Structure 1
Amino acid sequence: MEQFERARIDSYFARIAAEFAPTERPSSFLITHLLPERPSFVGAVGRTSNLRAVLPKPKSIDAAARRAIEKTTPCETLSREMFEDPDTAVEYIESRAAGEAVVLLDVGGYFTPSLDAICNQVSGRILGVVEDTENGHKRYANSDKLPCPVVSVARSPLKDPEDFLVGQSVVFSTEALLRSRGDILHGRPALVIGFGKLGASIARLLHAKGVQVTVHDVDPVRRTQALSQGFTVARDRDVALHGAGLVLCATGTVSLRGEDFATLRNGAYVATVTSSEDELDLGSLPDVYQRTPNGEHVTRYATTGHYFYLLNRGNAVNFLHGASVGPFIFLVQAEILAGIRMLTRGDLGHGMREVDAADRKTIAATWLNYFNR
């Protein structure tokens, strides 16, 4: 990134941080993808809160970004197990922010398994959570009773540009890996599993490239939406899997279980838009399948009479090429900062919440002033 570009991003986040500065700074813990542009956002989180730790998602860490952040803030190792055990989760928060008011900044619902214990057992006060993703939104929304407010930016209109461009990056990376093996998208029927914002974007982009696209979604409303947009909608999921030469998983939950892989046609490619632990049940794949590297970032799974290819070991395929969505990501990151201020006011009831429409307009206007040039 050129120096003047970095300066513009830093200036933008300084303006946003000033606009949404809380009257009293809470402490915070930040889970994030540590991509090359991320230090500016992390710096803004540090200006609006006492940032106790950055927890990078392990499969999306840029080394230079980590080095830059570690100059001011500890970067610690993140795993799902870290917050699955309530005692471990409470001990972790307590060891770094005992007696303090705390905001948890999440990407994917990491805090959900232990949120009750964290809210009820730490010596300080959990003001709430800000969640970034649809997958995480669902995990919090499905909780029986949330013990604190959860401000979700996952369904914000400011996230629509990011979702569209993530779809573009997924299709780009998938095509790049196919071409690295001498294959192409054309002539290879695709099955998109999940027709949410990301899945719909992927389906449209594949269609625009001349690919025959079939859609499957467990939600009948989304199936009608896909049908109205001209896509073939799978009546039988197993038949659709068997007919697809490319399967793109975009549900945020388990799309393919062990028995599903045997249904894939020979030579099919499988790619996901989230981590393998969320999207694929690779652990239940029969042991008879042998795994062999087959080109960079492509693994061939084979047994007698059957084989398929898994891209990027089942992790989000677009992270192989930076997963860049340009400056549009800064809209969502600014909304996360607005969420911090909302939580520090202390007037939100427990449950799912959204950033105010007026704050979104302020963010959009500021963003346009910096990046619509």
Structure 2
Amino acid sequence: MLEVHERGRVSAFFRRVADIHHHGERPAVIAITHLLPGREVFLAGVARIGDIVAVLPKPRSIHEPTLREVGRTWQTDTLDRDAFADPEHVLAYVESRAAGRDLVLLDVGGYFAPALEHLAARFSGRLLGVVEDTENGHQRYAALDKTPVPVYSVARSPLKDPEDYLVGQSVVFSTEALVRSRDDILNGRPACVIGYGKLGRSIAAMLHSRHVGVTVFDIDPVRRVQALSQGYRTAPALADALAGAGLVVCATGNMALKEEDFRRVANGAYIASVTSSDDELELSSLTGLYTRTAVEPHITRYAAVGHYFYVLADGNAVNFLHGASVGSYILLVQAEILAATALIASQPVDAGMWDVPADTRQSIAGAWLTYFDGGS
């Protein structure tokens, strides 16, 4: 939890970013967000740019005291990916919160992507644009034939690099803590890292620093070449990477393990994810095929005849079990989300995928150094 002086410093930073970059009208904002400690300060920064008409907490990253605090100021609703796959449902929901208004959507994971075209065409107000936070969400929007409104993605921003590096560290920390809770250790347990983006690279490096042998699999051969050049074993197919791996860390954000893949997981292996289970692991497909048994807090044993493995944190982001803290570096990305929201609200932008301009990122980094260099 933030101390009073820390909260004041973060608020001042967000206020500075919002005030520098926002020069237009105040749109309505619907915000999907991880509702973890301190996120209420970020939302207060968003509220300097627009009127938050609803907050949709990510289901598996809700800190109850933060939810209660946020709920005292803003409307909080339930987020369900299956429901949000129905464009009519999303339209009805958005109409119930922002009918007739200019609207900006803040997204974490591409929840609005399936309904975006429908919203742009049918919403009674004016959908100004979307700001997306994650690589998974970036891919969902990029896969659309054409985004009907501007979509600013911060997923591949250089300001996100420090966060991704530290998230990778926290994933390995939490994975190791759970493995040790069973009187087991990572040493001597070959690891498979699926996905060699920024998170996967950090995870592989942290495992290597713990003297764990790492095999990397990525569907992109360029990334496999990069992993090979950095000293890791690589595999041409997922089945080869899984063979003999005692630890499997899924870092794709795009369904790393499907039903047929689980059969290739080695007996006794631990499976960890960096994001929500419905984005990374097709665990629902194992119902009726495997018996599930909770063997320790946050460790589930999946067993069938002659085969068993362990899933950590129910397949959700394992680092959230220990706060997923990356210090004040996460504020860089949150500030870029504020700046992107201000850009959408302040000036017309053509439809399509957009990055925040480089000079805006430099301004954010400079402000962050003013407030946080030397401490978190």
Partner in structure 2 of residue 108 of structure 1 = 109
Partner in structure 2 of residue 279 of structure 1 = 280
Task: Provide Cα deviations, 1:42-78, integer angstroms capped at 9, x if missing partner.
Answer: 1111111011001000100011111111121111111
Partner in structure 2 of residue 290 of structure 1 = 291
User: 2:11 matched to 1:2?
Assistant: no
Q: Distance in 2 between matches of 1:346 and 1:127?
A: 10
Superposition TM-score, scaled by structure 2 size: 0.97
Which segment is superposed worse, 7-16 or 105-114?
Answer: 7-16
Partner in structure 1 of residue 335 of structure 2 = 334
Cα deviation, residue 17, structure 1: 2.0
Q: Is the 8 A contact 2:104 2:129 kept in 1?
A: yes
Structure 1 pair 286/52, CA: closer, same or farther in 2 (3 Å)?
closer
Which segment is superposed worse, 17-26 or 173-182?
Answer: 17-26
Q: Is the 8 A contact 1:257 1:285 kept in 2?
A: no
Q: Is the 8 A contact 2:301 2:308 kept in 1?
A: yes
Partner in structure 1 of residue 77 of structure 2 = 76
Q: Distance in 1 between matches of 2:23 and 2:323?
A: 32
Task: Provide Cα deviations, 1:309-352, integer angstroms capped at 9, x if missing partner.
Answer: 00011111111111111100110011011101211234211110
Q: Distance in 2 between matches of 1:298 and 1:126?
A: 42
Q: Is the 8 A contact 1:132 1:152 kept in 2?
A: yes
Partner in structure 1 of residue 97 of structure 2 = 96
Q: Distance in 1 between matches of 2:24 and 2:280?
A: 40
Question: AA paired with 1:127?
Answer: L
Question: AA paired with 2:231?
Answer: G
Cα deviation, residue 286, structure 1: 6.0
Partner in structure 2 of residue 239 of structure 1 = 240
Partner in structure 1 of residue 134 of structure 2 = 133
Q: Is the 8 A contact 1:241 1:265 kept in 2?
A: yes
Task: Give SS of 2:148's match.
Answer: coil
Q: Distance in 2 between matches of 1:264 and 1:85?
A: 34
Q: Distance in 1 between matches of 2:32 and 2:179?
A: 32
User: 2:366 matched to 1:365?
Assistant: yes
Q: Is the 8 A contact 1:108 1:133 kept in 2?
A: yes
Cα deviation, residue 22, structure 1: 3.2
Partner in structure 1 of residue 228 of structure 2 = 227
Q: Is the 8 A contact 1:294 1:300 kept in 2?
A: yes
Q: What pairs up with 1:3-152 in 2 under 5 angstroms? A: 3-152=4-153
Q: Is the 8 A contact 1:31 1:105 kept in 2?
A: yes
Q: Is there any run of 5+ residues in structure 1 with no aligned partner, and where?
A: none
Cα deviation, residue 305, structure 1: 1.5
Partner in structure 2 of residue 158 of structure 1 = 159
Task: Provide Cα deviations, 1:4-37, integer angstroms capped at 9, x if missing partner.
Answer: 2122112222222222223211111000001101
Task: Give SS of 1:94's match.
Answer: helix
Q: Distance in 1 between matches of 2:270 and 2:163?
A: 25
Partner in structure 1 of residue 268 of structure 2 = 267
Q: Is the 8 A contact 2:108 2:132 kept in 1?
A: yes
Task: Give SS of 1:309's match.
Answer: strand
Q: Distance in 2 between matches of 1:162 and 1:212?
A: 24
User: 2:188 matched to 1:187?
Assistant: yes
Q: Is there any run of 5+ residues in structure 2 with no aligned partner, and where?
A: none
User: 2:246 matched to 1:258?
Assistant: no
Cα deviation, residue 280, structure 1: 0.8
**C-alpha RMSD over aligned residues:** 1.1
Question: AA paired with 1:104?
Answer: L
User: 2:347 matched to 1:349?
Assistant: no
Q: Distance in 2 between matches of 1:107 and 1:328?
A: 18
Q: Distance in 1 between matches of 2:19 and 2:65?
A: 27
Q: Is the 8 A contact 2:131 2:340 kept in 1?
A: yes
Q: Is the 8 A contact 1:259 1:285 kept in 2?
A: no
Q: Distance in 2 between matches of 1:145 and 1:237?
A: 31
Partner in structure 2 of residue 320 of structure 1 = 321
Q: Distance in 2 between matches of 1:317 and 1:22?
A: 40
Q: Distance in 2 between matches of 1:80 and 1:199?
A: 25
- List structure 1 runs of 4+ shifted beyond 4 angstroms: none
Q: Is the 8 A contact 1:258 1:286 kept in 2?
A: no
Question: AA paired with 1:150?
Answer: V
Q: Distance in 2 between matches of 1:240 and 1:130?
A: 35
Q: Distance in 2 between matches of 1:286 and 1:260?
A: 15
Q: Distance in 2 between matches of 1:19 and 1:328?
A: 20
Superposition TM-score, scaled by structure 1 size: 0.98
Q: Distance in 2 between matches of 1:98 and 1:43?
A: 22
Q: Distance in 1 between matches of 2:48 and 2:287?
A: 50
Question: AA paired with 1:364?
Answer: A
Q: Distance in 1 between matches of 2:277 and 2:124?
A: 35
Task: Provide Cα deviations, 1:223-247, integer angstroms capped at 9, x if missing partner.
Answer: 1111111110013421321210000
Q: Is the 8 A contact 1:27 1:52 kept in 2?
A: yes
Task: Give SS of 1:294's match.
Answer: strand
